[in-house]
Amino acid sequence: MQITESIIELENGSLRIRRQGAGTPLVFLHGAHGINTWPRYLELLAARHEVIVPDLPGFGRSTASKTTTRVHDMARVMLDMIDTLSPDAAVDLAGHCLGGWVALEMAVRGAPLRSLTLLDSAGIHVDGIRKGDFFIVSPGELPALLFADPQVGEDWLQAETTSEFESAVFQNRQMAARLAWSPRLFDPELTRWLRRVSVPTRVIWGEHNQILPLAMGEALAQRTGASLQVIAAAGHLAFIEQADACAEATLAHLVEVSARRTPAPNASLGI
Amino acid sequence: MQVFMFHLMPYTAMDMDYGRKWRSSWVVMPNTEFDPAIGHELYNRYLDELELAAELGLDGVAVNEHHQTAYGLMPSPVVTAAALSRRIRKAKIGILGNAFCLREHPLTLAEEHAMIDNITGGRLITGMVRGIGAEYHSMGANPALSRERFLEAHDLVIQAWTRPGPFDFHGEHYHFEYVNPWPRPFQRPHPPIWCPSTGSIETIEWAAHPDRKYTYLQTYSPVKSVATFLNQYRQTAERKYGYTAESTKIGWAAPIFIADTDEQALAIAKPHIESLFNKFLNLTFEMLFPPGYLSPETARRMAIHKRDQLKGDNVTAEHLVREGIAIIGSPDTVRRKLQDAHRLIGFQNFLALLQFGTLSREDTERNIRRFCTEVAPALQQLTDREYAGWSGNSGEAAA
């Protein structure tokens, strides 16, 4: 299926947006490492939806102005983007890691969402759970830290780091640090807002996530009233490592949400 | 020339085999490796060493800041400087440097420096640095904000020292309703500001700016790079800003060891200077350059060129001497090398690191005595008259 690419101009800079598929819009927000390739997970979602993948401000080929330097700012720009791309219809929103955190910040601000899918998502802190540190390890150590199967990680990281994209790796790391260095990958305030997440939410988590251990996924599911799907044989990038299982869990969630939304034929008769 | 003794205060009892267990002597080496009984001994020994150098006629002593590492035991150089400030009665005391931008409240440091400046009657030199990358891991400060916070903390501190208070300050990172520090610094308009660096064009351009004219100090570098960067300061002043930089605005810091002969000096210093570079200064690329500490483009270039150099566990004393990173030899050799370097580069400040790595109390004391009596007096005589002058060409040409 064809992937189309466009640049849209917003108040705070320009966004690169890639799209694939047709159907109701599903926005996917990438994690702290950015996303350059188009992984199988997105292909699978695009079989049913129009999958929309922006580079977050300051990542990949999107620019960041001085006013887009915090996760709140990312959320604001993404809300602007949704207003621009889908002014009339609510969207399905999915986010991984940092992108999940941005999605949560959007959700607590009353974004027009049909559903929320959080994949190994950042954003919260859980007492007693020590996170992994992808900022301090060498590139050679990343695959084993990010993936249950280091070989899968090595292949993916290599595919992501094309020569053309090489400088983006450093740019992405800088932007990720700017947003999430301290507090590391969370905002203490967000937890107090999570009860405002009213959209149907599913949390999907790699069983062997060493960056954000599974206990964080459990806590996030509990705090947002979400269902939790644990993905076996997967680490922090479960949607790369177990694309089929993650896509299935995501799509099943979206189907459930649609079913809940669509009134039964005779239910509308009453009013 | 002003001659100083510089101290890092390393934890000499560090297990030199730590590499089997931890990737670095920074950030991740457990502090259970630190024995306070040894700490007590070391702090007092090191303070004695600095006091001795001052007694023996050096122009000043200098200390610096590092966090959570065996490399240097001065997370707060203000404490060390304060301890020295009542014992050293004439010499200057340099805090080279303090990372104001690592603090959420740079004003606390502005206050503390002003206190020391008052206690010493104006003998404080304030070093302003960003801190090396590892500090950002250790202190939770955001490396991607490091440069902007450095600039803003600087502006805040200078205003706090020079503008009548109280006034309010609202930057991007720091906000104060009442900036009104008591005491004000003793020196007018404020203590001299020095910028130590291992070589950064950005820092040089900032330090040399006519509004600042801060002293730039080159550290840990081959003498050839010292020439390049210090000439860069002169060139920046001349070409970019249109004024002639004074030689008092540039300086060099280097490890020094002196014994009767060159061979003896190398034999004694070798294991200790090698421990400094291979064991104490063993930082990974990711620790030294956390994301955002350098611009993405510089980080990319560094990753290509520097990553392999950092793997080194194999710097030799001979290499350090050959490159002029460390100056080791008889009093004549050391004196001549420094005089030669001065003739070429013309720096009017020199900082001698007279204790390094595992160098013992006895060897350090002998080194201090010989440097202060057999080398420093000759250096202190050096003026611009002995400097060959700046050719106006790039640093490489002069070196």
Taking CB atoms and an 8 Å limit, are A167 and B287 in contact across chains?
Answer: no
| SS3 label, residue B213 | coil
Q: Considering the domain boundaries, does residue A270 fall inside one?
A: no
- Nearest CB to A167 within list B27, B140, B300: B300
* Closest by Cβ to A136, choosing from B137, B292, B299: B137
Judge whether A269 lies within some domain: no
**The pLDDT of residue B204 is above 70:** yes
CB spacing of A181 vs B140 below 8 angstroms: yes
Residue contact B300–A135, C-beta within 8 A:
no
Q: What is the mean pLDDT of residues A58-83?
A: 92
Residues of B in contact with A135 (CB under 8 A): 137, 286, 290-291
Spatial separation of the C-alpha atoms in residues B5 and A71, rounded to whole Å: 46
How many domains are contained in chain A? 1
For the entire predicted model, the pTM comes to 0.93
Taking CB atoms and an 8 Å cut-off, how many pairs form between chains A and B?
A: 60
Superfamily for domain range B2-398: Luciferase-like domain (3.20.20.30)
Q: Which residues of A touch B296 (CB under 8 A)?
A: 167, 170-171, 173-174
- The ipTM of this complex is 0.91
Do the domain assignments include residue A271? no
Please determine, for residue B394, whether its predicted confidence score (pLDDT) is greater than 80.
Answer: no
pLDDT at A265: 53
Rounded distance, CA B133 to CA B149, Å?
A: 14
For residue B137, the SS3 value is helix
Which of B139, B286, B293, B307 best probes binding to A when mutated, by most A CB atoms within 10 angstroms? B286
Q: Which residue has the higher pLDDT, A68 or B129?
A: B129
* pLDDT reading at B382 higher than 80: yes
Is the backbone of residue A208 left (phi > 0), alpha (psi -120 to 50) or beta?
Answer: alpha
pLDDT mean over B297-322: 80
Note the pLDDT tens digit of each residue in A206-223.
999 999 999 999 999 999
Across the interface, whether the CB atoms of B137 and A135 are under 8 A apart is answered yes
User: What is the reported pLDDT for B392?
Assistant: 66
Assess whether the previous peptide bond of B183 is cis (omega < 30° from 0).
Answer: yes
Per-residue pLDDT averaged across A228-247, rounded?
Answer: 98
Amino acid in the structure at residue B76: S
Q: Supply A251's token pair.
A: 């799509």
pLDDT above 60 for A57: yes
Residue B398, pLDDT score = 41
Place of tokens 């390094």: B356
Mutate to test the interface with B, among A130, A135, A163 (most CBs of B within 10 A): A135
Beta bridge partners of B94: B62, B125
Nearest CA in chain B to A181: B142
Exposed, middle or buried by CB within 10 Å (0-12, 13-18, 19+), for B220? Answer: buried
CA A9 to chain CA centroid, nearest Å: 22
Q: Is B268 helix (H, G, I), strand (E, B) or coil?
A: helix
| A269 — pLDDT class (breaks 50, 70, 90) | very low
Mean pLDDT of chain B: 94
Distances (CA, A) of A178 to A63, A68, A183, B146, B203: 14, 10, 11, 10, 21
Distance CA A57, CA A74 (A): 7
- Nearest Cα of chain A lies from the Cα of B208 at a distance, in angstroms, of 27
User: B397 pLDDT band (50/70/90 cuts)?
Assistant: very low
CB-based contact B292 A136, cutoff 8 Å: no
Contact (CB, 8 A) for A255 and A262? no
A67: nearest CA partner in chain B: B172
Tell me the chain B residues in contact with residue A171 when contact means C-beta distances shorter than 8 Å: 296
Q: Which residue among A166, A171, A177 sits closest to B290, beta carbon to beta carbon?
A: A177
Q: What is the pLDDT of residues B41-90, one digit of tens each?
A: 999 999 999 999 999 999 999 999 999 999 999 999 999 999 999 999 99
Query: Does any domain span residue A41?
Result: yes
B309 band by pLDDT with thresholds 50, 70 and 90:
low
Percent of chain B with pLDDT over 70: 96
In chain B, domain spans: 2-398
The single residue listed with the structure tokens 């997370």 is: B75
Section B171-178 average pLDDT:
96
Residue A118 has pLDDT above 70, yes or no: yes
Domain of A192: which CATH number? 3.40.50.1820
Name the pLDDT band for B310 (thresholds 50, 70, 90): low
Measured CA to CA, the distance from residue A82 to residue B65 in angstroms comes to 48
pLDDT of residue A267: 45
Confidence label for A66 from pLDDT (cuts 50, 70 and 90): confident
The answer to whether A235 and A208 are in contact (CB under 8 A) is yes
Q: How far is CA A132 from CA A156, B67, B151, in A?
A: 19, 21, 31
**pLDDT-based confidence at A263, cuts 50/70/90?**
low
Q: How many CB atoms lie within 10 A of CB B373?
A: 12
Taking contacts as CB-CB distances below 8 angstroms, the residues of chain A near B137 are 135-136
Q: Tell me: pLDDT of A176 over 90.
A: yes
pLDDT of residue B301: 80
What is the C-alpha to C-alpha distance for residues B316 and B266, in angstroms, rounded to an integer?
Answer: 11
Three-state SS annotation for chain A: CCEEEEEEEECCEEEEEEEECCCCEEEEECCCCCCCCCCHHHHHHHCCCEEEEECCCCCCCCCCCCCCCCHHHHHHHHHHHHHHHCCCCCEEEEEEEHHHHHHHHHHCCCCCEEEEEEEEECECCCCCCCCCCCCCCCHHHHHHHHCCCHHHHHHHHHHHCCHHHHHHHHHHHHHHHHHHCCCCCECHHHHHHHHHCCCCEEEEEECCCCCCCHHHHHHHHHHHCCEEEEECCCCCCHHHHCHHHHHHHHHHHHHHHHHHHCCCCCHHHHC
With a cut of 80, say whether residue A237 has pLDDT above it.
yes
Residues of B in contact with A177 (CB under 8 A): 142-144, 290-292
Report how far apart the first and last C-alpha atoms of chain A are (Å, whole number).
43
A125-169 pLDDT per residue, tens: 999 999 999 999 999 999 999 999 999 999 999 998 876 667 788
> Do residues A141 and A133 make contact, with C-beta atoms less than 8 angstroms apart?
no
Domain range enclosing A227: 3-169+180-262
Which of B146, B294, B300 to mutate to test binding with chain A, by most A CBs within 10 Å of its CB? Answer: B300
Letter string b/e over residues B235-254, b meaning 16 or more CB atoms within 10 A of that residue's CB: bbbeeeeeeebebebbbbbb
Once rounded to an integer, what is the mean pLDDT over residues A250-260? 95
pLDDT given at position A86: 85
Residues A11-55 pLDDT 10s:
878 999 999 999 999 999 999 999 999 999 999 999 999 999 999
Residue numbers in B near A167 (CB within 8 A): 296-297, 300
Please name the residue of chain A whose CA is at the shortest distance from the CA of residue B283: A136
Q: Which of A183-197, B233-247, B293-307 has the lowest mean pLDDT?
A: B293-307
At residue A264, the pLDDT reads 53
